[in-house]
Amino acid sequence: MALTKKPVNGMKDILPREMQIRDYVMSLMKETYGRYGFSLVETPCVEHIENLLSKQGGENEKLIFKILKRGEKLKLDEAEKEADLVDMGLRYDLTLPLSRYYANNVNNLVMPFKALQMGAVWRADRPQKGRFRQFVQCDIDFRRCYVFSRSRAYFCYNYFIGKTGF
């Protein structure tokens, strides 16, 4: 069978020049927000399906690439609903994974907690022109950070934009 060269619809191969630009922008973000006390964190790309589905509702649930149970857990002949078949999903943004990360690690984090996360996310919707099912997202959050105001966050953002030269 011949190799299908083109990526799956809504996905994209990233060529070296575009990777250089992405790496440059990401390094500027790390430098800029690191200067203001933000720590780089990473969360898994796969989350528990009940976390992805809980309290989101509506359109967000349509964005989830769901992962079938495997091995002995997958009982196709006994399945009555989707929940009997699925136990995990790919993250569609970085907000929920960071909330789970914070809840799981709060006792080991220095407060105030200022997090910078950059990573791939996946959306199972039909991509429009110029949009993709997989892309890199940047999430900048703070918890228990009463002094770090929105104006300070805006200053960081403007400082970053100024450094990019775009």
What pTM, to 2 d.p., does this model score?
0.82
pLDDT digits (tens, 9 = 90+) for 60-97: 788 899 998 887 777 767 767 777 788 999 999 999 99
> What is the pairing mode between strands 66-68 and 86-90?
antiparallel
- The confidence score (pLDDT) of residue 116 equals 94
Residue 6, token pair as written in the block: 């083109």
End-to-end CA distance of the chain: 45
- The confidence score (pLDDT) of residue 88 equals 94
Sign of CA dihedral 31, 144, 88, 54: negative
pLDDT digits (tens, 9 = 90+) for 28-41: 999 988 988 899 99
Domains of the chain: 42-164 (3.30.930.10)
Mean pLDDT across the chain:
85
